[in-house]
Homo-oligomer: A and B are copies of this chain.
Amino acid sequence: MVTSRDVARVAGVSQSTVSYVMSGRRSISAETRKRVLDAIEQLTYQPNAGARALASQRTQVIGLVVPFGPGADTAGLLPFIETIASCARAEDHDVLLVTTDEGAAGLTRLAGRALCDAIVLMDVEADDARIPVAAALKVPVILIGVPDDSAGLHCVDMDFTLAGTLAVDEIAALGHDRVVLIGHAADVIERDINFVRRFQRGAAAAAARHGIGYSVVAPVPPGTAGAREAVERALDGGGRPGVVVPNSQAVAPVLHALIERGVVPGRDTSLIGLCTDAAAEATTPAVTNVSLEPRDVSRRAMEILFRLLDRGGEPPAQLVELIRPRLTRRETTLPAP
């Protein structure tokens, strides 16, 4: 292993000078700097992360707690992880992965062993036992998701209320006189009360504002059979209700159940899904969707996190920050009247 002392020897300077050249925390003569940089290149020196962390009390690592493990909502997770990793690297940090199934222990481990400088906590539930633990840590934490009580922690999430509003606004604009939400699976309702509640609140308010009918079919069992049954119930009321599916998992099954039933979205009725754009474009036909914009959410989360880390920048005053969703018209909604 090549150390900064080796570099110092080759460059003919002291070890501390090498350190200062790397950190730039002291002015160095052009000539000395060059000799040091040349030596670094020649030896392909790289600083030892452990030693640096020990001496500087900074690991240059972001802890990322992701919802793996049994019963985790793992769909659409990758864009989050990918964006977070990319943002971290842009600030010369790495990402250490911890899974949700470790629970609060994962958090205390990250902080207690000084494995990271800051933590991103994903898949936060309405009443999440990890929140108080996270709030007591000495490292900055950012939540993705909005708990009932964020205990003073910053959080970023999709604006699900607005998502519900956008979807129902569109349904109303297309001339439907009622809208049916074909909702979440039972376990999601159990866990993410906040998420579901927020979307439904926005949808219901929009429906009332437009004076159109509003009903919810939930829970929806996963898979084809569950979708068929839900579609039956949705169409029970007669007419051609606009259908909103606030559940990525269920979008494709519901779409196909409708087609099977002879009610083709885009021709006979309108279907709007709540899912990523990629998922929306993967079905046949492509579904009009309200996108969760995981990349925007993650990017904003990392922005806040690094502001929390830099003693320079001020973190945003408001704790809860909601990212605007976006509706994209595709093939499953009627043409505008």
Query: What residues of chain A have their CB less than 8 Å away from a CB belonging to chain B?
Result: 1, 44, 46-54, 59, 61, 64, 68-69, 74, 77-78, 81-82, 85-86, 89, 94-99, 102, 108-109, 112-115, 223-224, 227, 249, 252-253, 256-257, 260, 281-286
6 smallest A-B Cβ distances: which pairs?
A50-B53, A46-B112, A256-B284, A50-B54, A49-B113, A68-B82
Interface centre among A69, A256, A281 (most CB of B within 10 A): A256
- The answer to whether A97 and B81 have CB atoms under 8 Å apart is yes
**Smallest beta-carbon distance A45→chain B, Å:** 8
- The answer to whether B85 and A97 have CB atoms under 8 Å apart is yes
In the assembled complex, the Cα of A99 lies from the Cα of B95 at a distance in Å of 10
- The answer to whether A99 and B113 have CB atoms under 8 Å apart is no
Residues of B within 8 A of A68 (CB): 78, 81-82, 85-86
Known contacts being A61-B96, A97-B96, is A114 close to B82, with CB within 8 Å? no
- In the complex, residue of chain B having the shortest beta-carbon distance to the beta carbon of A97: B95
- The answer to whether B99 and A97 have CB atoms under 8 Å apart is no
In the assembled complex, the Cα of A37 lies from the Cα of B253 at a distance in Å of 54
Residues of B within 8 A of A113 (CB): 46-49
Partner of A284 from B49, B82, B86, B253 at Cβ < 8 Å? B253
- The answer to whether B114 and A50 have CB atoms under 8 Å apart is yes
Interface centre among A47, A48, A85, A94 (most CB of B within 10 A): A94
**Smallest beta-carbon distance A279→chain B, Å:** 11
In the assembled complex, the Cα of A102 lies from the Cα of B74 at a distance in Å of 25
Partner of A44 from B89, B112, B257 at Cβ < 8 Å? B112
- The answer to whether A114 and B48 have CB atoms under 8 Å apart is yes
Known contacts A68-B86, A223-B281; 11 additional CB pairs below 8 A are A46-B108, A46-B113, A49-B59, A49-B114, A50-B51, A77-B78, A81-B97, A82-B99, A97-B97, A252-B282, A253-B282
